[in-house]
Amino acid sequence: MSDTDTDTDSGSGSGSPTRLDRRGYRRVVAAATVGTLVEVYDLLVYGYFAGILAEQFFPRQDPTAALLSTFAVLALGSVVRPLGAILFGHIGDRLGRRTALVASVLLMSGSTMAFGLLPTYHSVGILAPVLLLVCRVLQGLSASGELTGANVLVLEHAPRDRRGRAVAMVNVAGNLGAFTAAAVGFGLARLLEPEQLAAWGWRVAFLIAGLIGLVGLYVRTRVLESPEFVALGDAPRRGRAPFVRTLRSAKRRLLVVTVWTAASSLGGFMLVGFLPTYLMREGRMSPADAFAANGLSIIVLGLSTMLGGYLVDRFPVRRVAIGVVIGAALTSVPAFLLIVRSGSFAGAVAGQSLWALFLGASGMLGAVLSVVLFPVPIRFTGTALASNLAVALIGSSAPYVSASLIAATGSPLSPAIYVLVVSAGALFAAIFGLSAGVRLSRGPGDVRTAESS
């Protein structure tokens, strides 16, 4: 079966989704966004407090090695995400989008609260980093079905002429999660002495996330199932597993989305998972200033995300994608120059904001392509697998690779060159992987790969 066959394999359910009233649609959006907020918050709090976690969970003889070990745990926790994508994709495509999202937020809330209760290396020795890794693995599994599933649920409920903006809202929730993480980090750094922050303050940040996740669990149990999934009837429970069907019939689509998402996830992980720590360690910036500078740039990230959603609702997806990736590539080196050479708070804000200018739209486009390139019967699996392969292979290792590149080359600009190389792959995917002139409003499955056109 070819990628073209995938478009007609059960199509998009009943065609146009059943319209909800305004209250019902708001509930769907709330259910989708709250888990996404927690997912991004969890991930970024880990990155923001990486320096403290390195001291608390690893031997202190070599601070650089301890920090690299902390980033390695972050990356290893994401290596399991493709396995989680298969698991939650199977649940989402067989049992329903809502069931998968309830399961993911339940696992996420539990593992995140456990993070805030872990004993340190000083208390239990080598068991401390082992427990840290276990919690990260559980977080990675839960995150694998979170943002992707939320995008699927919202898009399948959204009116056709607002699909881009609907998906953008979910991704803005991720930006809000990033902003919340920066705000919590800033607040804790301002309110507590450095010794208090290192001793117990970091735990507060993780416990907050667990409580928000429980709210998300309540909201998701009350949301309606996707009308496009319901329209499939008993079909999802028959035939080959969604993972097998995806590999057999949608390989080209999977590659296109994975390559694109690799570039956007790399930029995102560097912005929120690496740069605050870099500013504190290499730029000698206080934790409060580093968090504040990063938080201000995330506002730009959110605006970029919404603008991207508006553009794909009005213009061909391929044209928007090419423009966004070229803009991101052209601004990466100037942005990093501002960050590493200015030595000031204003320079850190300006550089990170320039970095975020095209990044938000790029991440939103990855979500759009993930959802609309795959038909309803394998949509959750295809979306989750592409996104999580990109995060596992490229995105989650960005802080570790960036720190290693700087250590190996001595050049603070080396991470920006890394971004340029990966962006070239995304540009190739947009030019040769998508058909020209296709608009998001024409319906699921209409944004075809070049092979299927």
pLDDT at 444: 46
Q: What is the pLDDT of residues 139-158, one digit of tens each?
A: 888 888 888 899 999 988 88
pLDDT at 450: 47
Distance, in Å, from the CA atom of 287 to the CA atom of 280, rounded to the nearest integer, reads 6
Q: For residue 247, give both structure tokens.
A: 């590999």
Residue 68 lies in a domain: yes
The reply to whether 448 falls in a domain is: no
Does 7 map to a domain? no
Other beta carbons within 10 angstroms of residue 437's beta carbon come to 11
Q: What is the pLDDT of residue 451?
A: 47
Q: Which of 439, 365, 443 is nearest to 160 (CA)?
A: 443
Q: What is the rounded distance in angstroms from the CA atom of residue 363 to the CA atom of residue 267? A: 9
> Which H or E run includes 310?
helix 287-314
Rounded Cα distance, 332 and 420, in Å: 7
- 343 within a domain of the structure (yes/no): yes
pLDDT given at position 441: 58
Residue by residue, DSSP assigns 30-84 as HHHHHHHHHHHHHHHHHHHTHHHHHHHHS-SS-HHHHHHHHHHHHHHHHHTHHHH
Q: How far apart are CA 146 and CA 85, in angstroms?
A: 9
C-alpha 336, offset from chain centre: 22
Predicted confidence at residue 309, as pLDDT, reads: 93
- Among residues 178, 150, 180, the alpha carbon closest in space to that of 166 is found at 150
Q: Is 449 among the domain residues?
A: no
State the pLDDT at residue 91.
Answer: 95
Residue 350 belongs to a domain with what CATH number?
Answer: 1.20.1250.20
Contact 172, 285 (CB under 8 A): no
The gap from C-alpha 26 to its chain's centroid, in whole angstroms, comes to 22
Task: Answer whether 447's CB lies under 8 Å from 317's CB.
Answer: yes
Give the list of residues 6+ apart from residue 199 with CB closer than 8 angstroms, or none: none
First to last CA, the chain: 15
By residue range, what is the domain housing residue 277?
16-442
For the residues of 312-360, what is the DSSP string, one character each? Answer: HHHS-HHHHHHHHHHHHHHHHHHHHHHHHHS-SHHHHHHHHHHHHHHHH
For residue 449, the cross-strand partners are 434
Backbone φ/ψ region at 9: left (φ over 0), alpha (ψ -120 to 50), beta = beta
Side-chain-side CA neighbours of residue 2 (13 Å): 7
Number of domains in the chain: 1
Q: Which of 373, 180, 191 is nearest to 272 (CA)?
A: 180
CA dihedral 308, 243, 133, 131 (to 10 degrees): 120
Alpha carbon separation from 365 to 101, 136, 396 (Å, rounded): 21, 27, 19
Task: Return the sign of the alpha-carbon dihedral for residues 172, 175, 180, 181.
Answer: positive
In a domain, 1, yes or no: no
- Which residue reads 């991004």 in tokens? 40
Q: Which residues of the chain have pLDDT under 70?
A: 1-21, 435-453
> Looking at the domain assignment, is residue 452 inside a domain?
no
Q: What per-residue confidence (pLDDT) applies to 21?
A: 67
In a domain, 98, yes or no: yes
Q: Compute the distance between CA of residue 380 and CA of residue 320 in angstroms, rounded to an integer.
A: 24
Query: Could you give phi then psi for residue 370, rounded to 5 degrees?
Result: -60, -45
- Using left for φ > 0, alpha for ψ between -120 and 50, and beta otherwise, residue 11 falls in left
- Of the CA atoms within 13 Å of residue 447, those in its CB half-sphere come to 31
Going by the DSSP 8-state scheme, the letter that residue 257 receives in this structure is: H
